[in-house]
């Protein structure tokens, strides 16, 4: 007998639907079907996969408004934010189509070393098999296409498991994939209960796992997966640095967009702001004024900037972090207000460097400010976290930028932009507990492939 789960709108707690988890028998049937899909993919030319993905991009564009509304209903993300996500999802799909045509290997002469001459090695990239793609709630369609797109482009079959909150939007995405021409044998949707995840991750018919989410879940995946290929995009505690030569208006706008959009629920959100002492007061005043003007409320309204977080439990955890920082000596420059699953944009000053809100990832709209005099003093503070995803800096001092690029433990440093900068064809990923491997369409294709060499 299958188990069920119920979903509600985080904005008003209205019932969205009741769904059934996939049974283990259904999962095994899907995996057997995907095994057949691997043979179908071998017979599908790269240009055919590219054409299918371009058709899918067109369908996503046609259904963008419908999909955006589903995302907002399911997650509480503002409708404007959901519409931007759909633009990104279309771009990711187009990029996957283009990269499907560009997969290339190399030819190597064997005479580089003695006694190995007279041969040529033809190195090709081949698909791994069946990729288990697991996505989180915050960008349900864009992140899905950053996995499904390159996995399909590389010639794999795909078992797709979204966050339970995104059941309706993800099912619509899969339906559009089928309409575009991706065979059911190549893509299957599943929603296993938590109790079945370990044995699914360990299943011999799963050849690789591509996961975006939290560290605890990634640890469980790693423990169960054994020797499978893992591509893990995890959390971040991303800094935004405001130097003394920064454009303060632009920096404040970026800080708001990169922290309070999506109610702060982004792995690349600007979770810690480091501000040079000489501009601290002026920047803080600009930031507080702009943040206080943000509209908080119904995520379906076009002018709303901050909606609810994903559920009440998440709001409670954010509140606990804020109160902990205040108990450690922080003062409230803005916010510290709550209503149901709403956490109002909160700006904290005088935050201790070893406060939990500075060291741990806080998945919500809270922004701790840290004043500094010399850039050297903030490097160990920024690096004093388990994460190392992205960072941003506002400055035109190339020497400072280059120095921080070398010293900060991150995968990307964005100049005169926030740490949330991402575009489809750039590599994306971090160091330490921010993950393993790189996304970004071209790089993800490589991660979901292996080299095979013909010696002639």
For residues 329 and 407, membership in a common domain is answered with yes
Mean pLDDT within 143-170: 98
For residues 121 and 205, membership in a common domain is answered with yes
Distances (CA, A) of 114 to 87, 133, 397, 444, 453: 54, 44, 50, 36, 20
Using the predicted structure, report yes or no on whether residue 95 has a pLDDT greater than 80: yes
Instruction: Tell me how many domains the chain contains.
Output: 2
For residues 414 and 398, membership in a common domain is answered with yes
Structural domain span for residue 289: 238-422
Candidates 330, 329, 328; CA nearest to 346 is 330
Using the predicted structure, report yes or no on whether residue 316 has a pLDDT greater than 80: yes
Instruction: Tell me the whole-structure pTM to 2 decimals.
Output: 0.96
Q: Is 233 a catalytic residue?
A: yes
Please report which confidence band the pLDDT of residue 114 belongs to, taking 50, 70 and 90 as the band edges: confident
CATH assignment of the domain containing 110: 3.40.605.10
Residues 6+ apart with CB under 8 A from 328: 351, 352, 355
Q: Are the C-beta atoms of 274 and 391 separated by less than 8 Å?
A: no
> Active-site residue among 74, 85, 205, 233?
233
For residues 17 and 55, membership in a common domain is answered with yes
Count of C-beta atoms within a 10 Å radius of residue 309: 27
- For residue range 206-264, what is the model confidence (pLDDT) as tens digits? 999 999 999 999 999 999 999 999 999 999 999 999 999 999 999 999 999 999 999 99
Using the predicted structure, report yes or no on whether residue 275 has a pLDDT greater than 80: yes
Distances (CA, A) of 291 to 223, 255, 335, 339, 391: 42, 10, 9, 18, 21
For residues 405 and 441, membership in a common domain is answered with no
Report pLDDT for 274: 98
Please report, to the nearest 10 degrees, the dihedral formed by the alpha carbons of residues 48, 209, 162, 26 taken in order: 90
- 53-57, 116-120, 353-357 — which one is most confidently predicted on average? 53-57
Report pLDDT for 1: 64
Report pLDDT for 2: 75
- What does the mean pLDDT of the chain come to? 97
For residues 342 and 399, membership in a common domain is answered with yes
For residues 245 and 212, membership in a common domain is answered with no
Q: Is residue 31 included in any domain, yes or no?
A: yes
């Amino acid at each position: 007998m299958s188990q069920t789960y119920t979903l509600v709108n985080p904005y008003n707690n209205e019932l969205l639907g009741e769904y059934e988890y996939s049974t283990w028998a259904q999962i095994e049937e899907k995996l057997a079907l995907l095994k057949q899909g691997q043979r179908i993919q071998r017979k599908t030319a790269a240009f055919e996969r590219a054409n299918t993905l371009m058709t899918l991009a067109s369908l996503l564009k046609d259904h963008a408004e419908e999909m955006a509304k589903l995302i907002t209903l399911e997650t509480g993300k503002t409708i404007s934010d959901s519409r931007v996500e759909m633009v990104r999802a279309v771009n990711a799909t187009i990029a996957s189509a283009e990269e499907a045509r560009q997969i290339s290997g190399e030819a190597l002469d064997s005479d580089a070393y003695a006694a190995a001459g007279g041969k040529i090695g033809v190195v090709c990239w081949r698909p791994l098999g069946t990729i288990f793609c697991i996505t989180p709630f915050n960008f349900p369609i864009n992140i899905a296409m950053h996995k499904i797109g390159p996995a399909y482009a590389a010639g794999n079959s795909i078992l797709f498991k979204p966050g339970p909150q995104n059941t309706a939007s993800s099912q619509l995405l899969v339906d559009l994939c089928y309409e575009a021409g991706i065979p059911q044998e190549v893509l299957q949707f599943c929603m296993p209960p938590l109790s079945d995840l370990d044995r699914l991750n360990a299943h011999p018919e799963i050849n690789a796992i591509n996961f975006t989410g939290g560290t605890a879940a990634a640890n469980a995946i790693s423990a169960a997966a054994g020797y499978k290929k893992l591509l893990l995009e995890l959390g971040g505690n991303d800094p935004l640095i405001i130097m003394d030569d920064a454009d303060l208006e632009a920096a404040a706008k970026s800080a708001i967009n990169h922290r309070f959009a999506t109610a702060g629920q982004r792995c690349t959100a600007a979770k810690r702001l480091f501000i040079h002492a000489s501009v601290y007061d002026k920047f803080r005043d600009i930031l507080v004024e702009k943040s206080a003007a943000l509209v908080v409320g119904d995520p379906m309204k076009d002018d709303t900037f901050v909606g609810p977080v994903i559920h009440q439990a998440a709001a409670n955890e954010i509140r606990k972090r804020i109160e902990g920082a205040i108990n450690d000596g922080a003062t409230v420059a803005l916010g510290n207000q709550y209503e149901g699953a709403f956490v109002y944009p909160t700006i904290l000053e005088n935050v201790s460097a070893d406060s939990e809100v500075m060291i741990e990832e806080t998945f919500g709209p809270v922004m701790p400010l840290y004043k500094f005099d010399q850039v050297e003093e903030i490097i160990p503070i920024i690096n004093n976290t388990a994460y190392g995803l992205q960072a941003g800096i506002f400055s035109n001092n190339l020497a400072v930028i280059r120095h921080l690029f070398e010293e900060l433990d991150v995968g990307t440093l964005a100049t005169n932009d926030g740490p949330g900068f991402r575009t489809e064809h750039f590599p994306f990923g971090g160091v330490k507990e921010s993950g393993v491997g790189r996304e970004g369409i071209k790089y993800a294709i490589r991660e979901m492939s292996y080299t095979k060499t013909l010696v002639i």
